């Protein structure tokens, strides 16, 4: 991500007409950025951009509908803004989009695998293709490509797709990357029993904290989630594999044709459950059936928000 000074200048320029601008600032240690809600010109000084800026800030937009909000987005984040616009869940008149170009963000879980504990990191710097992690008097040099988030590995949208102000110069679209992440075909190479055993094991760890749901920009029901109702009683209060799996199925089904694969569910999960595998599988289905990718064109209508008598790829009459 480039253009911090240009971004700050732009925010100073637009802030008088807005209630707030959402960006990132350094968090409690050298490894964590944290969302920053800019309300005054002084707040702008705290702004940072870079590979620690993992949060998809579009998640906050539906909760701020009555405010005039500026939001800073990476390419992937911008897809969530587009999807929210497509579904009329936010009002474009109230949102000013500051688009960035991005060369990837860090997956802290992957970094943890490389350096052991993340608990004592003093500083992280990206130097070209290297990530320099400082822990006390030790220095770890790690290839940035090895600790990027999965979504960055096959990212074809490094530039914000929708914006009112673009910061810096857009980079060329990355070529030679498949639309599907390798993990999906790897997983599908396994037998049904192996796959089911895998999910049962993963679901035994789920604490149903709903971080995956609340971090998701498309999970807009928030306080009125169907998973929480007592009537109908889709889920019991019990925390077990069957109930956890049911919750995750509800979540993924409700994202059909809406999920922009920003990966926030998986990033937010405190138990490191690889939830994106479910999303990728669902998105493959949507691509195959509807030739559709969510959050690309604000004028497009998501496939499950419309109706065609004859779907192109569903041969209903021949069943």
Among 5, 17, 28, 172, binds another protein (CB under 8 A): 28
Could you tell me which residues are beta bridge partners of residue 69? 20, 95
Q: Which residues lie closer than 8 Å to 209 by C-beta, 6 or more apart?
A: 270
| Cα-based distances in Å from 76 to 56, 104, 176 | 8, 10, 18
Is 138 a binder of another protein (CB under 8 A)? no
- Vertex 65 angle, CA 302 and 48, to 5°: 95
Which residue number, 185 or 236, has a Cβ lying nearer to another protein?
Answer: 236
What part of residues 112-131 is at the interface with another protein (CB under 8 A)?
112-113, 116-121
Minimum CB distance to another protein, residue 230 (Å): 8
Minimum CB distance to another protein, residue 265 (Å): 10
Minimum CB distance to another protein, residue 108 (Å): 10
Is 94 a binder of another protein (CB under 8 A)? no
Q: Torsions phi, psi of 236, nearest 5?
A: -90, 175
Q: How many residues make up the chain in this entry?
A: 319
Is 264 a binder of another protein (CB under 8 A)? yes
Which residue number, 238 or 316, has a Cβ lying nearer to another protein?
Answer: 238
Is 273 a binder of another protein (CB under 8 A)? yes
Cα 242 from Cα 280, distance rounded (Å): 22
Which residue number, 26 or 300, has a Cβ lying nearer to another protein?
Answer: 26
Is 267 a binder of another protein (CB under 8 A)? yes
| DSSP character at residue 267 | H
Which residue number, 271 or 305, has a Cβ lying nearer to another protein?
Answer: 271
Among 209, 249, 253, 305, binds another protein (CB under 8 A): 209
The window from 55-63, 165-173, 175-183, 300-308 that contacts another protein (CB under 8 A) reads 55-63
The window from 123-131, 203-211, 245-253, 282-290 that contacts another protein (CB under 8 A) reads 203-211
| DSSP character at residue 47 | E
Is 315 a binder of another protein (CB under 8 A)? no
Q: Which residues of 60-88 are buried (b: 16+ CB within 10 A; e: fewer)?
A: bbbebeeebbbbbbbbbbbbbbbbbbbbe
Parallel, antiparallel, or unpaired for β 123-127 and 47-48?
unpaired
Is 236 a binder of another protein (CB under 8 A)? yes
Which residue number, 116 or 178, has a Cβ lying nearer to another protein?
Answer: 116
Residues that bind another protein (CB under 8 A): 27-29, 31-37, 55, 59-60, 109, 112-113, 116-121, 201-202, 205, 207-211, 213-215, 222-224, 228, 230, 236-240, 264, 267-268, 270-274
């Amino acid at each position: 991500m480039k253009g911090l000074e240009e971004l700050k200048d732009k925010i100073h320029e637009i802030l008088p007409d807005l209630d707030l601008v959402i960006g990132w600032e350094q968090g409690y240690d050298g490894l964590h950025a944290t969302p920053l809600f800019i309300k005054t010109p002084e707040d702008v000084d705290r702004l940072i951009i870079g590979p620690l800026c993992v949060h998809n800030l579009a998640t906050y937009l539906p909760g701020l509908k009555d405010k005039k909000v500026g939001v800073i987005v990476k390419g992937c984040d911008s897809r969530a803004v587009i999807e929210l616009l497509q579904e009329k869940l936010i009002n474009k008149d109230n949102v000013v989009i500051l688009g960035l170009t991005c060369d990837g963000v860090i997956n802290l879980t992957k970094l943890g695998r490389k350096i052991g504990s993340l608990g004592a990191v003093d500083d992280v710097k990206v130097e070209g293709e290297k990530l320099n992690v400082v822990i006390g008097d030790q220095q770890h040099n790690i290839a940035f490509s090895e600790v990027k988030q999965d979504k960055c590995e096959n990212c074809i949208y490094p530039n914000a797709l929708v914006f009112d102000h673009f910061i810096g110069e857009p980079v060329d679209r990355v070529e030679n990357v498949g639309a599907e992440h390798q993990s999906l075909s790897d997983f599908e190479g396994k037998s049904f029993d192996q796959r089911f055993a895998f999910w049962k094991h993963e679901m035994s760890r789920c604490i149903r904290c709903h971080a995956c749901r609340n971090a998701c920009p498309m999970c807009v029901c928030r306080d009125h989630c169907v998973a929480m109702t007592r009537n109908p009683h889709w889920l019991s209060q019990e925390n077990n594999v069957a109930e956890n799996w049911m919750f995750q199925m509800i979540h993924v089904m409700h994202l059909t044709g809406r999920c922009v694969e920003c990966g926030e569910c998986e990033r937010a999960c405190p138990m490191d459950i690889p939830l994106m595998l479910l999303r990728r599988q669902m998105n493959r289905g949507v691509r195959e059936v509807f030739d559709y990718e969510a959050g690309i064109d604000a004028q497009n209508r998501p496939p499950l928000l419309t109706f065609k008598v004859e779907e192109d790829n569903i041969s209903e009459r021949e069943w």
